[in-house]
Amino acid sequence: MGHIVILTGAGLSAESGLGTFRDKEGLWTRYDIDEVATPQGFARNPGLVHEFYNARRANCRQAQPNPAHIALADLQHFAADRVTLITQNVDDLLERAGASDVIHMHGHLTGALCAACEHRWTAPDTMSIADACPSCGQHSTRPDVVWFGEIPYHMDKIDTALATADLFVAIGTSGNVYPAAGFVQDASARGARTLELNLAHSAITPLFDETRLGPASKIVPKWVAEIQQ
């Protein structure tokens, strides 16, 4: 088993009850991205943005890892240095399933960031505009998540992983948001085989060598068991 690079999206956590963004009832069908997931929206109405992420943080606390998170954590324990886990998700369900060194390219709900001095700390259960940064004292605290129009985190680490991937696997992502949606082409251009695990065909299905359809809680453990043989 060579180096496996895994990219996960909201579909990985859908069966844990966290919902997705673009499926029916998805978050973006109920909230305006511009208002709650852009720096401009935060500047206009930080209280609304804190409310949005406080609600997602509460959902996340109540959610439990599902068999797909557990299978990926088991795979990492089985082949530690040969598995790179990249997630677009801001939940901590992979870590709570036992995974480590998960690359959160869109940040994480459990993190807080000071927009003034860039200090980072563990987010309280609820954040508000009244919070002061524990380091500089300014009232400019925000969730440590990457909003539209901002640069995703850890791109250098991700690029190195894609360059050395023997197998690239995308799990539960619609392939609508770049740069993540372009990773399959990066990996494939540099010689990796590519596999998509999803409930339905995505915008990038044609770019994969193989696509398997089904709920992540079923098809991810099955795939992990297969490659551990």
Q: What residues make contact with ligand APR under the rule CB under 6 A?
A: 9-11, 14-15, 20-23, 26, 88, 106, 172-174, 176-177, 198-200, 202, 215-216
CB of 44 to ligand APR, least distance (A): 19
Minimum CB distance to ligand APR smaller for 140 or for 176 = 176
**Catalytically annotated residue among 69, 106, 119, 201:** 106
The 8 Å CB, 24+ separation contacts for 126-130 are 126/50, 126/54, 126/57, 126/58, 127/50, 127/53, 127/54, 128/47, 128/50, 129/46, 129/47, 129/50
Question: Which among 150, 155, 116 is positioned nearest to 133, based on CA atoms?
Answer: 116
Say how many C-beta atoms besides its own lie within 10 A of residue 39's C-beta.
14
Question: Which among 182, 181, 213, 183 is positioned nearest to 196, based on CA atoms?
Answer: 213
CB of 180 to ligand APR, least distance (A): 6
- Can you tell me which residue has the tokens 């966290």? 18
Q: Nearest residue by C-beta to ligand APR? A: 11
Q: How far apart are CA 105 and CA 87, in angstroms?
A: 6
Minimum CB distance to ligand APR smaller for 82 or for 182 = 182
Minimum CB distance to ligand APR smaller for 133 or for 211 = 211
Phi/psi for 108 (5° steps) reads -150, 145
CB of 95 to ligand APR, least distance (A): 17
Q: How far apart are CA 123 and CA 108, in angstroms?
A: 10
Q: Is 69 a catalytic residue?
A: no
CB of 77 to ligand APR, least distance (A): 22
Minimum CB distance to ligand APR smaller for 3 or for 56 = 56
Which tokens in the block code for residue 29? 């069908």
Q: Which residues are catalytic?
A: 106
